[in-house]
Amino acid sequence: MSERALSQGQSPQNGEAEKKHRLPAFLDHFNARDLKVFFRCWVALWVASLLMFISPTLQNIGTATFFAALVLVMLPPSGIVFIYVLGALSLFIGIFLAWAWGVIVMKAAQAARPAADTQARLASLQQTAAAQANSTGVPVASIAQKMVYDGYMLDARVTSVTYCLLCLFIYLMARLRANNPKLAFTSIYGIIITDLFLNFTPLLPSFKGMLPLSLVKPAAIGVGLGVACSILFFPRSTSHVVLDSLEDIVAQLKAPLTFTATTLGQKAQQPDMHRLQKIRIQIFGEYKKMEPALAFLPLDFSVGCWGAEEVMQLKEPMRKTVMAIATLLGLSHQSHIRRGQRGQSALENLRKTRVSFVRDMTNTLVDEYIRLEEGQTDSTKVDRLRGLVVGMVFEEHMANTVDQIETLLDRILTMYTTSTRVRLWWPTSLKYAAQWFSKKKTPAPDTAPATDSDPDDQVDDLTKAAQEKLRMRRAYRPTQRSTIGRLILGTYHWFTSNEGLYALRMVVVTIALGIPGVIPHTAGFYYREKGLWALIMGQTGLVVYMADFTFAVISRLVGTIAGGVLGLLAWYIGSANGPGNPYGLAAIMAVMLIIFLWVRLYLPPNLLQGGIMGGATFLLVIAYSYDDTHIPQYGNPGVGYTVFWRRLLLVLIGVAAATILQIFPRPPSAARHISKTLSHMLRTLSDHYALLLSCWGRPSRRDAHLLAEPLTLHLAESLVTLDGPIALLRFEFSSSRFDSAALARVKTLTHSINRNLGRLLLLSAALPPPLQDRLARQTGLLDHRAIGDVMAVLAVCEQALKTGDPPPEILPAPLLRRAMEYWHDHPVDLALSPELMRDESYRRFCVALSAYLKFLGAIDELVLVVKGALGEAHLVSEELVDLV
* Tens-digit pLDDT profile for residues 470-497: 555 555 566 777 888 888 888 888 888 8
pLDDT above 60: residue 429: no
In a domain, 141, yes or no: no
Query: What's the pLDDT at 213?
Result: 93
Q: Is the pTM of this model over 0.85?
A: no
Instruction: Among 425, 448, 472, give the residue marking a domain's end.
Output: 425
Question: What is the 3-state secondary structure of 525-582?
Answer: HHHHCCHHHHHHHHHHHCCCCCCCHHHHHHHHHHHHHHHHHHHHHHHHHHHCCCCCCH
pLDDT at 697: 78
What does the pLDDT average to over 782-799?
92
Range of the domain at 790: 670-883
- Residue 504's contacts (CB-CB under 8 Å, 6 or more residues apart) are 171, 495
Average confidence (pLDDT) over 87-106: 94
- The count of C-alpha atoms lying within 13 angstroms of the C-alpha of 73, restricted to the half-sphere facing its C-beta, is 26
For the chain, give the percent of residues with pLDDT over 90.
30
**Residue-averaged pLDDT of the chain:** 80
Measured over the CA atoms of residue 357, residue 359, residue 361 and residue 364, the dihedral's sign is negative
Cα–Cα distance for residue pair 386/304, rounded to 1 Å? 53
Cα(567)–Cα(617) distance, integer angstroms: 7
Is 80 exceeded by the pLDDT of residue 541? yes
Q: Mean pLDDT check: name the lowest of 79-93, 149-163, 186-200, 412-426.
A: 412-426
pLDDT of residue 269: 53
| 698 pLDDT higher than 70 | yes
pLDDT value of residue 15: 45
Q: Is 122 within a domain? A: no
Residues 205 and 246 in one domain: no
**In the prediction, which pLDDT does 512 show?**
94
Q: Worst-scoring range by mean pLDDT, 191-200, 308-317, 634-643?
A: 308-317
State yes or no: pLDDT of 608 exceeds 80.
yes
Inside any domain, residue 442: no
Pair (699, 634) in one structural domain = no
In angstroms, rounded to a whole number, what is the distance separating the alpha carbons of residues 170 and 157?
20
How many CB atoms are closer than 10 A to CB 242? 26
The 10 Å Cβ neighbour count of residue 87 is 23
Domain boundary among 425, 452, 467: 425
pLDDT at residue 499 above 60?
yes
User: What integer pLDDT is reported at residue 184 of this predicted model?
Assistant: 87
Cβ contact 400:324 at 8 Å: yes
818 with 878, same domain? yes
Host H or E run for residue 302: strand 302-304
| Residue bearing the bigger pLDDT, 312 or 72 | 72
Per-residue pLDDT for 423 more than 90? no
Residue 363 pLDDT: 75
In a domain, 461, yes or no: no
Domain shared by 680 and 595, yes or no: no
Q: Whole-angstrom Cα distance, residue 188 to residue 612?
A: 13
Same domain, 592 and 534: yes
Residue 543 clears pLDDT 70, i.e. is over it? yes
454 three-class SS = coil
Q: Within 10 Å of residue 309's Cβ, how many Cβ atoms?
A: 12
Q: Which of 588-592, 757-761, 878-882 has the highest mean pLDDT?
A: 588-592
How large is the average pLDDT for residues 544-567? Answer: 84
Q: Does residue 71 belong to any structural domain of this protein?
A: yes
What's residue 838's pLDDT? 77
Instruction: Dump pLDDT digits (tens) for 161-191.
Output: 999 999 999 999 999 988 887 788 899 999 9
Q: Do 602 and 507 share a structural domain?
A: yes
Q: What is the CATH number of the domain that holds 862?
A: 1.20.58.220
Cβ count near 279 (within 10 Å): 20
Mean pLDDT of 733-747: 84
Q: What amino acid is encoded at 707 in this protein?
A: L
Summarize pLDDT for 869-884 with one digit per residue, the tens.
998 888 887 666 665 5
Q: Residue 426 has what pLDDT?
A: 52
Least confident of 251-265, 333-347, 515-529, 858-872: 333-347
pLDDT in tens, 270-283: 556 666 667 777 77
Q: Report the alpha-carbon distance of residue 314 to residue 290 in Å, rounded.
A: 12
Q: Is residue 95 in some structural domain? A: yes
Residue 331, φ and ψ in degrees, nearest 5: -75, -20
**644 and 685 belong to one structural domain:** no
Which stretch of 431-435, 665-669, 695-699, 731-735 has the lowest confidence by average pLDDT?
Answer: 431-435
- pLDDT for residue 295: 66
Residues 680, 656 share a domain: no
What mean pLDDT do residues 845-874 have? Answer: 90
Residue 332: how many other CB atoms lie within 10 Å: 13
Rounded distance, CA 173 to CA 432, Å? 23
Instruction: Read off the amino acid at residue 654.
Output: G
Could you read off the pLDDT of 113-155 as tens digits, one per residue? Answer: 999 998 999 999 889 888 888 888 888 888 888 899 988 899 9
The DSSP code for 807 is P
pLDDT at 287: 73
pLDDT at 449: 41
- The answer to whether position 409 is within a domain reads yes
User: Of 11-15, 301-305, 709-713, which has the strongest mean pLDDT?
Assistant: 709-713
**Can you give the pLDDT at residue 764?**
84
For residue 299, what is the DSSP state?
A: G
Please give the pLDDT value at position 334.
37
Residue 425 has pLDDT above 70, yes or no: no
Closest Cα to residue 98, out of 216, 207, 182, 17? 216
10 Å Cβ neighbour count for 857?
A: 18
Does the structure show a pLDDT above 80 at 84? yes
Low-confidence winner among 628-637, 754-763, 851-860 (lowest mean pLDDT): 628-637
Strands (E), 711-839: none
Q: Is the pLDDT of residue 220 over 90?
A: yes
Q: Each residue of 454-475: pLDDT tens digit?
A: 555 554 555 555 555 555 555 5
**Residue 732, in any domain of the structure:** yes
* pLDDT confidence of residue 163: 95
Do 396 and 336 belong to one domain?
A: yes
So what's the pLDDT on residue 459? 47
Q: Is the pLDDT of residue 3 over 70?
A: no
Q: What is the pLDDT of residue 53?
A: 92
The pLDDT score that the predictor gives to residue 335 is 37
Taking residues 811-826, what's their average pLDDT? Answer: 85
Same domain, 636 and 540: yes
Say how many domains are in the chain: 3
Instruction: State the Cα–Cα distance between residues 814 and 831, nearest whole angstrom.
Output: 27
**Final residue before a domain boundary, out of 425, 440, 462:** 425
What mean pLDDT is predicted for residues 334-349?
56
Both 682 and 610 in a single domain? Answer: no
Question: What digits encode the pLDDT tens for the residues 351-388?
Answer: 777 777 777 777 777 777 667 666 555 555 556 666 67
pLDDT score recorded for residue 408: 75
Can you give the pLDDT at residue 357?
A: 73
Do 202 and 325 fall within a single domain?
A: no
Highest mean pLDDT among 195-209, 271-285, 482-496, 633-647: 195-209
Tell me how far apart the alpha carbons of residues 816 and 835 are, in angstroms, rounded to a whole number.
29
Task: Summarize pLDDT for 722-732 with one digit per residue, the tens.
Answer: 887 888 777 67
